[in-house]
Amino acid sequence: MKRKDQITRILATDCGSTTTKAILIEKRENEYRLIVRGEAPTTVEAPYEDVTKGVLNAIREVEELANIKILDNDKIIKRINPEGDGVDLYISTSSAGGGLQMMVAGVVDKMSAESAARAALGAGSIVMDVIATNDKRLDHERIKRIRTLRPDMILLSGGTDGGTITHVVQLAEIIQAADPKPRFGVGYKLPVIYAGNNKAVNEITERLEKKTALYVVENLRPTLEKENLKPARDKIHDLFMEHVMAQAPGYRKLMDMTDVPIMPTPGAVGLLIETIGKRDKIEVLGVDIGGATTDVFSYFQNTFNRTVSANLGMSYSISNVVKEAGLKNIMRWVPFHMDEKDLRNRIRNKMIRPTTIPSTVDELQIEQAISREALRLALEQHKTMAVGLKGVQKERTISDAFDQTSTGETLVNMLTLNLVVGSGGVLSHAPRRVQSAIMMIDAFLPEGVTMLTVDSIFMMPQLGVLSTVHEKAATEVFEKDCLIRLGSCVAPIGNIKEGQEAVRIKFDGNEYRFNFGEMNIIPLGLNQKVKAVITPAKGLDMGIGRGKEIETELEGGVVGVIVDTRGRRPFILPENDKDRVEKLSKWMKELKVYPEK
């Protein structure tokens, strides 16, 4: 691979379950920018069964659009001189073939098993099941579950270093009895990673070495107070490349084409969210809402977390969203009167034809109502996983007031959240950017002052893997071409009488006043930043106490500064259908969310 200063043209692909995306990045006038984007259907399944065919088709579209020769027959040309054909660097991510599917096993479901699940999720996997000694299942049920699910790999953990080994050895015996077979490949052993009590290594090896491909890494919970997820995450990623990807159709060829190892798509997106949080020293929430799953990423209190809501999506999993949220919760966001039966039929149509997109404003409003609930539920699930360490018993001291990392409470704090990054079709491709903003506000209910952004064309996975080899290029393209800044959201928290003055916002010699129960926009354009004084009413809080004034920076965007004075979290819409529609319509009209009928 070339030195960083010699890399001026970068090709990156992302192999999704249905579509393979390719982007071309070039250094122009001393900064890296996105030049073109191409896409083609993914070809991992019959009749092609070779992922590289879809990759080459996407690259050919990039060649055509950029008018640059990248391929010589089916080989990527590596540039010899800066002006020549080809590219300096080729990288790829993938979630094709169902992505990385894992099972985790831990001694206690709220301690070692939960830490193991966090390690697996952070590495970009879908966790199919969590087995724990206290999960109330019988051994034969656990054995049957392992055999039925056929995961790509198993992560086994349990016990603090030097502690009792009985329970973790029992879990190893269950895996041994199941004699698990991998999803892909014949004649190779299923990878099992042991990241538990170091005292049990010999016992675990004795039971699992013959029947599985066993790998031992450092304990992911060496003490009750400490979580050490990196060694397990790194090993998951290595094995994903060596075992899982190597068995999937055409991946061996793709691995030979890339300059750095292929990364699971969600792992790459998570890496980017974590990089932003660390670099800018801010707290970040990212979401990727797809057709089948919704991934949530967060960086709070210097801790990165990721969850996959495997049953919440906008096409293949739309019926699960209805089931989990309930029809009533979805209908509350529809800004017109409609029959419950009509809504059910529309959702059934989407289930039958999952790839269809809305063709009328009414259909769009229904889809965006469902998306609010999918996003809300995904965040709720994320909050339960993004927690401090559980099971720690120690004396409480004054320092505990400043240390929230060992309480078992969620780390996600909407009041300290600085940045929201939304991505996925329903957010990235919304006809109006303000629709993306209102969906995220209604679903996540940000508090205080929060910057809202969306991924313009879903290139975060490619930029995530690029950040590992060329952070400058990844950062510049992310800031200039990927991230669309919608604007700051100002949301005082609390409850006062509707119609009363809720907040005053002053900047640049202007004062804006808003009453409780409203939604408004202050026009502030892209790249405009102002120092503002925000004064909430006596019963409302901007983060430092009720009625207390704050000085902060507000940033504009393609939407502007959005002021949400609906207060109470979660706020409650009127039960009466007429009043509910009236309220929603008023907010939508004020923000110009949909075209006027």
AA letter at 293? T
514, two tokens: 């808003």
Residue with tokens 């190597």: 246
Position 244 confidence tier, pLDDT thresholds 50, 70, 90: low
Is the Cβ–Cβ distance between 238 and 147 less than 8 Å?
no
pLDDT recorded at residue 309: 79
Q: How many CB atoms lie within 10 A of CB 101?
A: 19
Residue 406 has pLDDT above 50, yes or no: no
**Least trusted range by pLDDT, from 218-227, 232-241, 530-539:** 232-241
pLDDT recorded at residue 597: 63
Is the Cβ–Cβ distance between 432 and 596 less than 8 Å?
no
Residue 185 has pLDDT above 70, yes or no: no
Q: Quick one: what percent of the chain has pLDDT higher than 70?
A: 94
Residue with tokens 């004054």: 398
pLDDT recorded at residue 127: 87
Highest mean pLDDT among 99-108, 162-171, 246-255: 162-171
What pTM was computed for the model?
0.82
Q: Boundaries of CATH 3.30.420.40 in the chain?
A: 4-96
Residue 403 has pLDDT above 70, yes or no: no
Q: Check: CATH 3.30.420.40 for 4-96?
A: yes
DSSP state of 410: B
pLDDT recorded at residue 224: 85
Residue 394 has pLDDT above 60, yes or no: no
pLDDT digits (tens, 9 = 90+) for 295-333: 899 999 998 988 877 678 888 788 889 988 999 999 999
pLDDT recorded at residue 88: 95
Tell which phi-psi region holds residue 365, choosing left (phi > 0), alpha (psi between -120 and 50) or beta. alpha
pLDDT recorded at residue 400: 34
Residue 186 has pLDDT above 80, yes or no: no
How is domain 99-256 classified at the CATH fold level?
A: Rossmann fold (3.40.50)
For the residues 30-38, what does the mean pLDDT come to?
Answer: 94
Q: Boundaries of CATH 3.40.50.2300 in the chain?
A: 99-256
Residue 266 has pLDDT above 60, yes or no: yes
pLDDT recorded at residue 567: 86
d(CA 147, CA 244): 17
The β-bridge partners of 510 are 507
pLDDT recorded at residue 397: 33
d(CA 357, CA 574): 30
Residue 115 has pLDDT above 50, yes or no: yes
Q: Quick one: what percent of the chain has pLDDT higher than 90?
A: 59
pLDDT recorded at residue 396: 31
For the residues 203-218, what does the mean pLDDT come to?
Answer: 95
pLDDT recorded at residue 117: 87
Residue 67 has pLDDT above 90, yes or no: yes
Mean of the per-residue pLDDT values for the chain? 88
pLDDT recorded at residue 405: 37
If you write DSSP's letter for every residue of 472-502 in order, what string do you get? HHHHHHIIIIIEEEEEEEEE-EE---TTSEE
Residue 388 has pLDDT above 80, yes or no: no
Position 97 confidence tier, pLDDT thresholds 50, 70, 90: low
Residue 392 has pLDDT above 50, yes or no: no
**Least trusted range by pLDDT, from 146-160, 376-390, 475-489:** 376-390
